Chains A and B, each alone.
Chain A
Amino acid sequence: MPMPTVADRGLFLPNLLHFGRLLRQLGVRISTREIYDLADALTTIDLARQDDFYHTLRAFLVHSPDEIELFDRAFDLFWRGRIELALELGLGYVRAAEQETLDELEQSEQRVLRGAGDSDPGDGDAEEDGKAETGVTGTYSAAEVLRRKRFEDFSEEEFEMARRVIRSLVWQIDERLTRRQVRASKRAATLDLPRAIRESMKQGGEIVRLRWRRRKTRPRPLVVLCDVSGSMERYSRLFLHFMYALVQEGRRVETFVFGTRLTRITPALRHRDVDAVLDRVADLVMDWSGGTRIGESLRAFNYVWSRRVLGRGAVVIIISDGWDRGDVDLLSREMARLHRSASRLIWLNPLAGAPDYQPLVRGIRAALPHVDDFLPFHNLEALEALARRLGTLTTSARRTPS
């Protein structure tokens, strides 16, 4: 069978372009090129079978399992013409541009129903902006304390100081060996034979100087889980700046905040403007200054994120005072699991700075056996002390779980 011609695919193109636009509005990244390839593909299958039609569309337009549900709903809406699903769309997805999306969705649907032939193949890639980055989904729970909070300005001086400390802190913990090898000037573990041979050409095939390679070091990924519940209120702003600075330095870092549930804030922190970032995070996190369920939050992290962000010898930092209103057994179990999958688990406690502090909070007691380093984190001096301490972490022995 010959490849389809332009005329064949013209049959589908206008509708496909509309459908593509609908998906883009829902935050799925699609290029116009993919739509054209898809139109080609559709000429090779039997269109009488709706499931084949569905799977063909999906093969071209979906690139991640997260998008499947969204795709399915859009597919039903667009191709099966079930308008009532549009309403449902708004409930399951608390996406960044939720209302806007819904409005556009209806308009787009209207256009299709009117059969408007205004297909414009030129659109598309321009719309492929960073919208997908805000794709942190969450569900609304009435039981949650819906307290949103604005951040006041952090003084320039404090901010600079924190940044400086943070830079030295990260710089010292982050090296690990990889298998990749690079040139080494001095005698090292491995001979660099290709280079030696190449150079021997100048000496008439005699290898005069041995060349060496060494294993390259790569920064360790860092994962920060920060408690933003009520008892941590006094500290949340500083910690947010701490995480902002880490993300802004462009290193491999993933950031999460938790109170009664876990929210990933890495995409929001990538924004350049710190004020905009704080606003976005404030909007994103629904449980500022509410209660804490550390166990449940860690469980959410372990099940959903750990396998995706804890590869490559990651260091995990938990920032929390350990005041926990959830299930302590669960906390202990999930701490144990986290400890096994991280190369180093560090707990920073803002309360631990007090001279007479004893880890008596039940959450802390449950977590402590699974922590490699339990360190104070109550002010900038403590932060600097921490940085000095961290420099020796990779060489110091890990605490083994008892």
Chain B
Amino acid sequence: MLDSIDSVHKALLGERYVAERGLATVIFLALRMGRPLFLEGEAGVGKTEVAKVLSNLLGTRLIRLQCYEGLDVHSAVYEWAYSRQILHLRLLDASGATREEMERDIYSRDFLLSRPLLQAIENNAEQVPVLLIDEVDRADEEFESFLLEVLSDFQITIPEIGTIRAAQPPVVVITSNRTREVHDALKRRCLYHWIDYPDFQTEYEIVRLKVPGASEQLSYQVVAAVQALRTAELFKPPGVAETLDWATALTIMDTQELDEQIIGDTLGVLLKYQDDVQRVQSELLQELARRAHAYRG
């Protein structure tokens, strides 16, 4: 099914994801070559969405690991079920078990809690899962090197049990907002793709696809205004997610056409920093309305 770049592109569209050609190309290559995909880009350009769409497309489970500072082996790979271990020890003790029996018993598979990385490795499904490692730039650098190890061999060693190896490596999608530079070695294990803000045509297609309630004219105007905003050197320019939120909000408000008033009233949906909002309110409203109207049907 996914045996060419064209078919990947079409299949993504079928899942209501509009991908530019470059993204379709790296997804195709990642699937074909069994390499992890490293997606970087500003917040709200649809990086995480790629993993979700892929799991739908492949009809497999999505396993998600959300990274944060201080993420450690217990939350990423595995943890022992301590309280159950303690209870079990009590029972064993009462039944007069030896120390060896106790150890063998409580460090068995039954007491092991799998976290996302182990779950992804342990799969024995026909269809391998999609492993999403989200916002890896938030995790510590130590975690990165650990990840590098896992992605090289697709195996995990648990001292008390042994080595668990993936029968089939999972499809891996790693995302980063680039709040810091992720180490080169990790990126080199992957196919790298920088997702940029979409061009006018692509973004228009996305809005039409995702917010079908918005009229053709409104969709055009929304995209025109957002594209203009992105050139305005804001601290945080709106992402595609914000465009969709805005189009949805305007649709709910039954807006047919943008004007200064309505743009000003709904700016909070698009911009998340007070000084950006202020700047647009005081300097750019007229310009935005003008740009939007250039597209009046």
- Residues of A near any B CB (own CB < 8 A): 1, 29, 31, 34, 37, 40-41, 44-46, 49, 51-52, 54-56, 58-60, 62-65, 68, 178-181, 193-194, 197, 200-202, 204-207, 302-303, 307-309, 311-312, 333, 336-337
Contacts and interface: CB of A to CB of B under 8 A. Distances in A.
Given A59-B25, A333-B275, A41 B33 contact: yes
Contacts of B5: 45-46, 49, 52
B89 A200 contact: yes
Contacts of B28: 44-45
A58 B180 contact: no
12 contacts: A41-B33, A45-B28, A46-B5, A49-B5, A52-B25, A64-B181, A65-B40, A178-B69, A178-B140, A180-B72, A204-B93, A205-B102
A56 B235 CA distance: 32
A337 B275 contact: yes
List 6 A-B pairs, minimum CB-CB distance, nearest first: A179-B70, A205-B89, A55-B25, A193-B82, A55-B22, A63-B187
Contact of A56 (B3, B25, B194, B275): B25
Given A64-B181, A68-B194, A197 B82 contact: yes
A333 to B, nearest CB: 7
Interface string B66-102: 0011101000000010110110011011000001001
Contacts of B179: 307-308, 311
A255 to B, nearest CB: 16
Nearest to B27: A59
Contacts of B233: 303
Contact of A205 (B3, B93, B191): B93
Given A55-B22, A200-B89, A41 B235 contact: no
Given A45-B25, A62-B192, A337 B235 contact: yes
Interface residues of B, number: 44
B256 to A, nearest CB: 36
Max chain B C-beta neighbours (<10 A), residue from A31, A59, A201, A336: A59
A64 B178 CA distance: 9
A314 B194 CA distance: 27
B184 interface: yes
B3 A59 contact: no
Contacts of B187: 63-64
Given A45-B25, A205-B89, A302-B235, 19 more contacts: A45-B4, A46-B4, A51-B22, A55-B21, A59-B192, A60-B192, A63-B184, A63-B187, A64-B192, A193-B86, A194-B82, A197-B82, A197-B85, A197-B106, A201-B103, A202-B99, A303-B235, A308-B180, A308-B181
Nearest to B92: A205
Contacts of B102: 201, 204-205
Contact of B99 (A34, A40, A204): A204
A62 B38 CA distance: 11
Interface in B13-46: 21-22, 25-26, 28-29, 32-33, 40
A309 B29 contact: no
Max chain A C-beta neighbours (<10 A), residue from B3, B80, B89, B103: B89
Contacts of A194: 80, 82
Interface of B: 3-5, 21-22, 25-26, 28-29, 32-33, 40, 68-70, 72, 80, 82-83, 85-86, 89-90, 92-93, 99, 102-103, 106, 140, 178-181, 184, 187-188, 191-194, 233, 235, 275
Nearest to A303: B235
Contacts of B29: 41, 44-45, 56, 59
Contacts of B92: 205
Contacts of B178: 65, 307-308
A337 B103 CA distance: 56
Max chain B C-beta neighbours (<10 A), residue from A34, A181, A197: A197
A375 to B, nearest CB: 27
A40 B29 CA distance: 10
Given A45-B5, A303-B235, A180 B26 contact: no
Contacts of B103: 201
Contacts of B33: 37, 40-41, 44
A63 B187 CA distance: 6
Contacts of B140: 178, 180
A163 to B, nearest CB: 27
B130 to A, nearest CB: 18
B21 A63 contact: no
Contacts of A179: 68-70, 72
A48 to B, nearest CB: 11
A134 B153 CA distance: 33
A65 B40 CA distance: 8
A159 to B, nearest CB: 31
Contacts of A51: 21-22, 25
Contact of B184 (A29, A181, A202, A307): A29
A65 B39 CA distance: 11
Contacts of A206: 93
A204 B98 CA distance: 8
Given A41-B29, A65-B40, A311 B180 contact: yes
Contacts of B181: 64, 308
A320 B88 CA distance: 65
Given A194-B80, A205-B93, A63 B99 contact: no
Nearest to B68: A179
A63 B188 contact: yes
A202 B106 CA distance: 14
Given A1-B3, A64-B181, A308-B179, A44 B80 contact: no
B89 A197 contact: yes
Nearest to A61: B192
Contacts of B191: 59-60
A63 B194 CA distance: 9
Contact of B32 (A44, A52, A64, A336): A44
Contacts of A58: 22, 192-193
Nearest to B32: A44
B172 to A, nearest CB: 15
Contacts of A1: 3
B194 A65 contact: yes
